[in-house]
Structure 1
Amino acid sequence: MSKLLLGVDAGNFMAKTAGPYGVDSYRTAICDWFQRDFVESFGSDDMEFEVDGKKGYAGSIAEHEDVFGGTGMYGDTKAHADTKIRVLLALYRYINRYCPGLDTVSIVTGQPITSHNETEKRKLIDMLQGGHEFSVNNKKQYVYIEEIGIAAEGSGAFWSNPQMGKVRIIDVGSGTVNVATIIDKKIINNASETFNFGMETVNRGLDSVATGIIRATTKLRWERNDIVLVCGGVAKDILPYIQTHYPNAQIIQPLLHKINGIEIVGPVFANAIGNYELSKLNFG
């Protein structure tokens, strides 16, 4: 395999990557570099990096050491420097875990539905496409992103287990919630949206977040008996609260088509696997 096809979901809390060999994830906390007097290990995803001259820490170490709380850049667009770091580290981890020596990839990654327009997509493509030389844990890494596609978050998750008919997607993230309506594999703009709240931006429980989602989706004219698929890291926990209004809601079951068979993966990987399927459709 001379070129690797991947799907990357560069989330505010976790980055998830899916490809022909399996999946990978890491905590996307980022903090500035500092000289460590005590070299502690906080997790298998601890990373010291240098990207475009910026030095820092990422992963569990950043979550613990960041004086600002180990959080990332929130908002309704992914076209910012944190995303570049997240994606490059995701590619570094996947390549070195599954296929060391490869350096050319084609990827599909995501952009919130509300900013899935040509201007914001072009910013993201221009930032990521091409050759990148950086270092992780004092090891030089070169990655050439040959082709890049930008999927709408939420609708990307649909492609992890696509079906005909009308499907509603609720993608609960740490900084935003993306909801998508797809009819016969076509996204319906007027019934899809990004809500600017998520599990780390609301100081209340799952029931409060679910109530916010239900109220907002009813304004989009979603109906009680719709087929609703829920994904994200809290999918299992928030599902009962979503079902109080949408009784047919269920957790999405992503199917990862690997080189050695099909694997059912958890709903947290739905966007990454959907993006991987889109990368195969577009670049395979």
Structure 2
Amino acid sequence: MILGIDSGSSSVKVATQEGLYTFSSHLGEWRERNLSSTFSENDIEYEYQGKKGFAGTLAQYESEFLRQMMGSTKAHEDAKIRTLIAIHRYGGLTNEIVVGQPILQHNEQEKQKIKAMLKGQHTITVNGITKTFTINQVEVAAEGGAVYWALNTKAPLIRIIDIGSGSVNYATIEGGRYIDKDSSSLEYGAESTKSQNVNSMVESIIAQTSKKWRKEDVVLIAGGMAEEVQDLVSSYYKEAKAIKVPYVESGQIDFAHPVYANALAFLNIARGLYCV
């Protein structure tokens, strides 16, 4: 099965041929509970390689030591667990996937680490159901920059701001070519700092990107906060707007919320790589 998986620090977004899905990225320690009822489909207990844990909303409410691993790389165990839970829930027995990595650490060394930790056979138990599946192929796309390949646009120059919970990616695509010198990541996001001042965060993003970008450039905003910050970003970049990514559901073309932009881009890239 082909999947695009965006294992973010706040939520995991999954795009497949069947639809779009999301669940909380929170992870925490497992413990015995006096009342073991679950209240939503995102209350998750898992066991992998002999280690148990809580995930999703169950971790948020019942774990004492809650984890939201953030930073400029996804080459870590928490991202692996989130991805395996996603495949357990929405994948098949054999899978070909594309996952993401922040632009700042989108280098061959980090990409190989991610591929090595994901590729192969895995057995994981989620909410009492044990599944064994294989990840046959893994590719690692640049978060933010990959979004261009989910769009149907002929604009000669596109700037993309991807606001995640743990990092902000900003990317430039010119003539269908990724421009590395005008692209990078900021090592903060919507939930990674003590201050939750959205205005100040956007001002900082603009201060950084405006070193290379022009006020009149077309700027597309991705991520869960895209619609919330659209007016703030457009106060400087006049052509800025929250991205609308087209996708087909039940035979009809719809437009996904900007939070799914990376996952849909990864799915489109996966289709190009794996559909022969």
User: How is 1:34-113 mapped onto 2 (pairs within 5 angstroms)?
Assistant: 34-68=31-65, 70-95=66-91, 102-113=92-103
The residue number in structure 1 matching 2:6 is 9
TM superposition score normalised by structure 1: 0.93
User: Structure 1 pair 259/42, CA: closer, same or farther in 2 (3 Å)?
Assistant: closer
Deviations 1:145-173 (A, max 9, x none): 11111100001222221423110000000
Q: Deviations over 1:3-35 (max 9, x none)?
A: x11111000000000011111110010001111
Match of 1:121 among 111, 117, 124: 111
Runs of at least 5 residues in structure 1 that lack an aligned partner in the other structure: 96-101
Determine if contact 2:163/2:189 at 8 Å carries over to the other structure.
yes
**Change in CA separation of 1:42 and 1:158 when aligned onto 2, cut-off 3 Å:** farther
Contact 1:16 1:269 in 2 (8 A): yes
Mapping for residues 263-282 of structure 1, pairs under 5 Å: 263-282=254-273
- Give the alignment partner of residue 210 of structure 2, picking from 200, 215, 218: 218
Matches of 2:121 and 2:251, distance apart in 1: 30
8 Å Cα contact 1:206-1:241 kept in structure 2: no
Q: Secondary structure of the equivalent of 1:135?
A: strand
Residue 98 of structure 1: aligned partner: none
1:212 counterpart SS class = helix
Q: Give the whole-Å Cα distance in 1 for the aligned partners of 2:203 and 2:55.
A: 33
Tell me the distance in 1 between the aligned counterparts of 2:201 and 2:40.
Answer: 29
Q: Which moved further from structure 2: 262-271 or 169-178?
A: 262-271
Partner SS, residue 21 of structure 1: coil
- Equivalent position SS for 1:82: helix
Tell me if the contact between 1:128 and 1:145 (Cα under 8 Å) persists in the aligned partners. yes
Deviations 1:67-109 (A, max 9, x none): 24x34111100000001101011112213xxxxxx31110111
1:173-196, Cα deviation, whole Å (9 max, x unpaired)? 000000000112211000000100
1:141 aligns with 2:137: no
Contact 2:88 2:124 in 1 (8 A): no
Decide whether the 8 Å contact of 1:63 with 1:71 is kept in 2: no
SS at match of 1:127: helix
Distance 1:71 1:156 in 2: 27
Equivalent runs, 1:187-198 vs 2, <5 Å: 187-198=178-189
| Alignment partners' CA distance in 2, 1:85 and 1:217 | 33
* Counterpart in the other structure of 1:26: 23
Instruction: Determine which of 157, 160, 172 is the counterpart of 2:150.
Output: 160
State the secondary structure of the residue aligned to 2:85: helix
Identity in percent: 36
Amino acid aligned to 1:130:
G
**CA distance, structure 2, for counterparts of residue 143 and residue 259 of structure 1:** 27
Distance 1:40 1:175 in 2: 31
TM-score, normalised to structure 2, is 0.95
Q: 1:207 aligns with which of 188, 199, 204?
A: 199
CA RMSD of aligned residues (A): 1.3
Supply the AA of the counterpart residue of 1:91: I
| Shift in Å, 1:201 | 1.6
Partner of 2:165: 174
Q: What amino acid maps onto 2:229 in structure 1?
A: I
Q: Judging changes above 3 Å, is the alpha-carbon distance between structure 1 residues 176 and 42 closer, same or farther for their aligned structure 2 residues?
A: farther
Separation (CA, whole Å) in 1 of partners of 2:182 and 2:168: 14
CA distance in 2 between partners of 1:265 and 1:258 (Å): 10
Of residues 59-68 and 195-204 in structure 1, the stretch that sits farther from structure 2 once superposed is: 59-68
